Structure 1
Amino acid sequence: MRKTATITAALALAAGGGLAMAPSATAATACPSGAVCIRETDGSILSKNIFYSYGAHNLSNVTGYRVIVNSQTGGAGFQVCYEYNGGRCSSVVRGTGEYAPYDMTPINSVVLVP
């Protein structure tokens, strides 16, 4: 509970916005170990939305509510950012697992951090 509250607070980008842990969907595609993934609304994960390397990853056509999955190992984290190339980002989130659907429309990049 404490971990979830901390993670949710760290990702609050705007009033009323933020991510929270979500239960796993059995029909959803698994995010590979070592990656951060963004799920499509149907539960699938497009190859363009699987990120392995540290640094900024610009998003293309990722709008609406999406689930973010952190499957990185070794305590690595991620940030969601309003600007391309990792500008105006949330705090780093290090918790692994799935996060409740989040409105990705204003989000333009995801940054993976060690």
Structure 2
Amino acid sequence: MRKIATAAAGLSLALGAGLAVAPSAEAATPCPSGAVCIRETNGTILNKNIFYSYGAHNLSNVTGVRVMVNNQTGGAGFQICRGYNGTNCYPVVRYVGEYAPYDMTPINSVVLVR
């Protein structure tokens, strides 16, 4: 239980504070305007991990440490969730840009919010 609470607190601090990280030395694939993306460990973004529409998006085979990128416009945000279909979610974050790397292994969905 302590490990879960520590992880949640770390995510809340990292995402809530809007801490951005620079891309790796290799050129990272850009996240398209209006989307939320999950960057692979090598800096690329797979088509299946680019989300445009509001609501819940279930993840498949997204494990390990990844970088979330919010490139939505108009103040839109996102949540990462432990459950499928947008359940058991962390707070909404609205900072535009890249977030600190986070272990996505226990994360099963991403929710885009207005």
For the criterion TM > 0.5, the same-fold answer is yes
CA RMSD of aligned residues (A): 1.3
Give aligned-pair identity as a percent.
72
Secondary structure, aligned partner of 1:29: coil
State the partner residue of 1:22.
21
TM-score (norm 2): 0.85
Secondary structure, aligned partner of 1:87: coil
Q: What amino acid is aligned across from residue 32 of structure 1 in structure 2?
A: P
Secondary structure, aligned partner of 2:48: helix
Secondary structure, aligned partner of 2:6: coil
Q: What amino acid is aligned across from residue 60 of structure 2 in structure 1?
A: S
State the partner residue of 2:73.
73
Q: Distance in 2 between matches of 1:24 and 1:41?
A: 11
Could you say if the C-alpha distance between residues 33 and 14 of structure 1 is closer, same or farther in structure 2, counting changes exceeding 3 Å? Answer: farther
Question: Number of matched residues?
Answer: 102
Q: Distance in 1 between matches of 2:112 and 2:5?
A: 21
Q: What amino acid is aligned across from residue 70 of structure 2 in structure 1?
A: N
TM-score (norm 1): 0.85
Q: Distance in 2 between matches of 1:81 and 1:70?
A: 16
Q: Superposition pairs for residues 1-114 of structure 1, below 5 Å?
A: 14-16=5-7, 17-18=10-11, 19=14, 20-25=19-24, 27-114=27-114
Could you say if the C-alpha distance between residues 61 and 24 of structure 1 is closer, same or farther in structure 2, counting changes exceeding 3 Å? Answer: same
Deviations 1:25-51 (A, max 9, x none): 451000000000001100000000000
* Structure 1 runs not aligned, ≥5 long: 1-12
Cα offset for 1:24? 3.3
Contact 2:23-2:43 at 8 Å conserved across structures: no
Question: Which stretches of structure 1, 4 residues or longer, exceed 2 Å deviation after superposition?
Answer: none
* Structure 2 runs not aligned, ≥5 long: none
